[in-house]
Structure 1
Amino acid sequence: MTVLPQQSAGAPDDYPANESDSAYRRTPPHDIDAEKAALAAMMFSPEAVADCQDAVREEDYYLPAHRILHNLMVERHSKGLPNAWPLLADDLEQRGTLARAGGRSYLTEVSLAFETGAAGEYYAGIVHRKAVLRRLTEAGVRITQAGFQGQGTVDELIAQAAGEIATVAEGASSSEDNDFVLPAEALADTLDYIEQARHRKGISGLATGYSDFDELTQGLHPGQLIVIAGRPGMGKSTAAMDIARNCAIKQGIPAAFVSLEMPVRELMMRLISAEGKVALHHLRSGHLTTEDMEKMDAVVPRIYQAQMHINDCERTYTAVQAKLRRLKAKHPDIGLIVLDYLQLMKLGGQRPETRQQEVSEISSSLKLLAKELQVPIVALAQLNRGPEMRTDRKPMVSDLRESGAIEQDADLVILLHRDDAYENESARAGEVDLIVGKHRNGPTTTITVASQLHYSRFVDMAQT
């Protein structure tokens, strides 16, 4: 009887060692016969190599020897070389890896598992499914160990657990499930979309309340990362609140607002000021006129009913991510997430060596989270001092502070500029430029809106 090559190190030995965890000492899911059958098909059929390469990955094999054989046959197939087992044995011997692949006798045994070339893809599918189950059990063990160790906050541990499961889920589909699509398969759906667009009234995405901007972008769409950037005092938080207010109050769509800069009370005062056109400094001082009180009485019920979920207590991305996932699970109709602002956030857990790397990782993670939750995420960002070094003081995308990865990850980058922030007597006092510096799905341009900062809001020029 042939002795199997040494099984993959790690899976059983990494499981908890005490007696109470003996249930975890079971042999991880695998199917050696299916692995042999898939490899045998690849030995005898070039077509099976292509099929199995699509259905299974090297790391899906339980036995290291089988990984070696899979890789070698894929490589030889790409060079137009046959994969008969004696040729494989000679090749492995020249490379000094024949013993690691089980030796000539084991290659012979694998070849005897051949049924037909067409069966290769079927057995490869079994190998892949077993590998997914194996990764799932390993992730479960790591989650259990993290729970027992209790290092980090509860939200960080939940985020870590969700990340473990998400990693398994991302690799659960074999590459055959993500195959190429021909125009004949995609054209009908595309033409339907175009026809619907022809007859559509209004925009296709979530309206921001800025008419010209919505016309340019067709609104904000699920999965997008939208970055609003500017120097301090330009009105980033005002623009973010405008968008969230338009979503939750004007359109009645639930929104999430994560603030790392302002407490809930400050956000609520800004919301009342913007919605009711009550001077913000009156709300702060308490010196309210009769007219102010009447305006407040008119808007407070609308604000009370609004589904704007505000969080001002988290500072790490892992904790925010965990809370947003739970919020989305509880309220599937969440239509917008706003984060104010990106550079105030820490990654959580083990941090990268540099702040630039940390911001880059947060930025890319936000884009992935937008795709996962299928919600547009608006993230505010600080610009460096670049605009102040220029004569016209206008910002550029390259001014994004601490990380060029923000620009790379974003679908839209909007740069805020106010002339009157630099010159009190500016001829453009009361105007704000929304400079669309990056637009993944359309042109870039500059859109001007009116600044009503005493009401903590921006509005279309036509509303002034």
Structure 2
Amino acid sequence: MSVLPRQTTSTPDDHAPEIYDDPFTGRRPPQDIESERITLGSMILDEQATIDCQNAVWPEDYLLPAHATLHRVIVEMRGRGEQTHPQLLCAELRRLGELERIGGPTAIAQLIQSVPTAASGAYHAEIVHECAVRRRLGEAGVRITQASHAGQQALDELLSNAAAEISAIAHGTDDDGDFVTPGSTMASTLAAVEAAKTGTGLTGLATGFTDLDSLTSGFQPGQLIVLAARPGMGKSTLAMDFARACSIKHQVPSAFISLEMGINELNMRLLSAEARVGLHHLRSGNVTDDDWARIARRLPDITAAPLYVTEAGDTLGAIQAKIRRLKNKHPELGLVIIDYLQLVRLGGRPAESREREVSEISRSLKLLAKELELPIVALAQLNRGPEMRADKRPIKSDLRESGSLEQDADIVLLLYRDDAYEPESPRSGEVDLIVDKHRNGPTATITVANQLHYSRFVDMAEDLS
């Protein structure tokens, strides 16, 4: 499995640690190969050890590329609900063309033999991660030194780039950097604006929409809800409505993983919906005194909300790790939203097809929802099917790269706005929430009011009041 020149210490002990020098510099980077082996061996042997180690170490943290490959494959197999005992792991590695590169079945056996107990995996994973951070700091130091000696950058630029390098490493080692709350980000959003337990008797999590809650009894733990629409229909807006109902109205922690929009855009939508300030006013900075007063009234509730947002991580493994870490830190986590599914990648290996890749992702998200006992709302794009029909209303077979999406989803919720196709429609301002699949109940079409100028949807009765 060695990919770097190996040197053994002069200690006569047969168990002397392996040491690898950088072949280009001849220097010895921070490393603990034995901890890398124990980490991987523990992950092979035990599912809980995989979760614990995955929370502490990333594939790129390993010194040996073969170890990084093994980590990715183990995590992907566990994510699909598969066992990783040696025969199955070797079979998967052989299928991927990686078995001989990592050293064959003998290397797998040696990893397992290195494990004193699977419970020690997380401890050794922390050591692996610490060595990786130390290596990154050393590499950053070399780059900063080279840039400083070159004398080609202005001092301000040199200092800025150096700080950015160190900051990127520091944030990458801090779990708190995975998700941020409105309270920690709203100040920068407001600056950007100025510059340019539900109590309802539901068995699940309240969505904020009376008729939808009545139909579903709320989103249930373990459910995968696929929320799909053509671009521009408002699926991200509806997803944020769910998050607002969960975390601002009911103070239940929720997570919003945005692969499309940045923190400021999400915060502006949050402010617009809660304070009833026009989203276009916030984007342009054309905020009146009355708008600021509305924002001030709602800001305490918004910034206190346990709404955790991240815009980082677009691979399935990274998303799973982030959600598990958040669940471990906040066991009461009640909702996860992923915006959107087609932007998620498997990572680590090429898929047979994009449809197969999306299918594996949806299946893994369903298993994660069951494991963590919370609903996961995965946004998805529809194909052009509705535009090809006289009746533009979507159906669940319009799901792009659908694969097993329909099979895995407990609820398929489709959005349709008649006025998106006919601006003069008599149904202007109305939005249909089409429950096209409901594993545990009836399907129906629920009509709500479109208040996209406030970046939200509301019940029809609320809109008329």
TM-score (normalised: structure 2): 0.61
Q: Conserved in 2, the CA contact under 8 Å of 1:158 and 1:322? A: no
* Structural mapping, 1:209-358, within 5 Å: 209-358=208-357
Q: Conserved in 2, the CA contact under 8 Å of 1:152 and 1:349? A: no
Change (3 A) 1:225 1:152: farther
Distance 1:441 1:289 in 2: 47
Q: How many angstroms does 1:160 deviate by?
A: 2.3
Change (3 A) 1:421 1:137: closer
Partner of 1:149: 64
Q: Conserved in 1, the CA contact under 8 Å of 2:256 and 2:337? A: yes
Change (3 A) 1:22 1:397: same
SS of the aligned residue for 1:448 comes to strand
Distance 2:292 2:254 in 1: 27
Partner of 1:111: none
Change (3 A) 1:169 1:205: farther
Q: How many angstroms does 1:404 deviate by?
A: 3.2
Partner of 1:378: 377
Partner of 2:439: 440
SS of the aligned residue for 1:391 comes to coil
Q: Find 1:136's aligned residue among 28, 45, 59.
A: 45
Change (3 A) 1:328 1:451: same
Distance 2:274 2:428 in 1: 22
| 2:159 maps to 1:160 | no
Distance 1:152 1:281 in 2: 49
Q: Deviations over 1:216-271 (max 9, x none)?
A: 00000110000100000000000000001110100000000000010011000000
Partner of 1:463: 462
Amino acid of the structure 2 residue aligned with 1:342: L
SS of the aligned residue for 2:362 comes to helix
Change (3 A) 1:166 1:359: closer
Q: Deviations over 1:242-301 (max 9, x none)?
A: 001110100000000000010011000000000111100000111111210110001111
SS of the aligned residue for 1:459 comes to strand
Q: How many angstroms does 1:134 deviate by?
A: 12
Distance 2:247 2:331 in 1: 14
Change (3 A) 1:411 1:291: same
Q: Deviations over 1:111-132 (max 9, x none)?
A: xxxxxxxxxxxxxxxxxxxxxx
Amino acid of the structure 2 residue aligned with 1:301: P
Partner of 2:388: 389
| 2:338 maps to 1:423 | no
Distance 1:223 1:310 in 2: 21
Distance 2:243 2:391 in 1: 31
* Structural mapping, 1:445-456, within 5 Å: 445-456=444-455
Amino acid of the structure 1 residue aligned with 2:388: M
Distance 1:209 1:269 in 2: 20
Unaligned runs of 5+ in 2: 1-7, 9-13, 19-41, 86-198
SS of the aligned residue for 1:219 comes to coil
Q: Deviations over 1:305-358 (max 9, x none)?
A: 011110102111111111111111111110000000000111111121211110
Find the structure with the greater CA-based Rg. 1
Q: Deviations over 1:391-412 (max 9, x none)?
A: 1200000000012311110000
* Structural mapping, 1:91-130, within 5 Å: none
Amino acid of the structure 2 residue aligned with 1:377: I
Amino acid of the structure 1 residue aligned with 2:45: L
Distance 1:145 1:446 in 2: 44
Amino acid of the structure 2 residue aligned with 1:277: R
SS of the aligned residue for 2:413 comes to strand
Distance 2:290 2:381 in 1: 37
Partner of 1:58: none
Identity, in percent, stands at 56
Distance 2:349 2:78 in 1: 14
Distance 1:385 1:258 in 2: 25
Q: How many angstroms does 1:148 deviate by?
A: 4.4
Change (3 A) 1:368 1:139: closer
Unaligned runs of 5+ in 1: 1-17, 24-132, 171-199
Q: Deviations over 1:158-180 (max 9, x none)?
A: 9829938975599xxxxxxxxxx
Change (3 A) 1:235 1:299: same
Amino acid of the structure 1 residue aligned with 2:254: A
Q: Deviations over 1:183-236 (max 9, x none)?
A: xxxxxxxxxxxxxxxxx9521110000100000000001100001000000000
Change (3 A) 1:165 1:338: closer
Distance 1:243 1:417 in 2: 17
Distance 1:150 1:353 in 2: 23
Amino acid of the structure 2 residue aligned with 1:149: L
SS of the aligned residue for 2:366 comes to helix
Larger displacement relative to structure 2 (401-410 or 248-257)? 401-410
Distance 1:351 1:165 in 2: 16
Change (3 A) 1:367 1:301: same
Distance 2:345 2:315 in 1: 5
Deviating above 4 A after TM superposition, structure 1's stretches of 4 or more consecutive aligned residues are: 18-23, 137-146, 150-154, 156-159, 164-170
Change (3 A) 1:286 1:263: same
SS of the aligned residue for 2:374 comes to coil
Distance 2:406 2:83 in 1: 28
* Structural mapping, 1:168-179, within 5 Å: none
Q: Conserved in 2, the CA contact under 8 Å of 1:398 and 1:404? A: no
Change (3 A) 1:427 1:202: same
SS of the aligned residue for 2:351 comes to coil
* Structural mapping, 1:49-60, within 5 Å: none
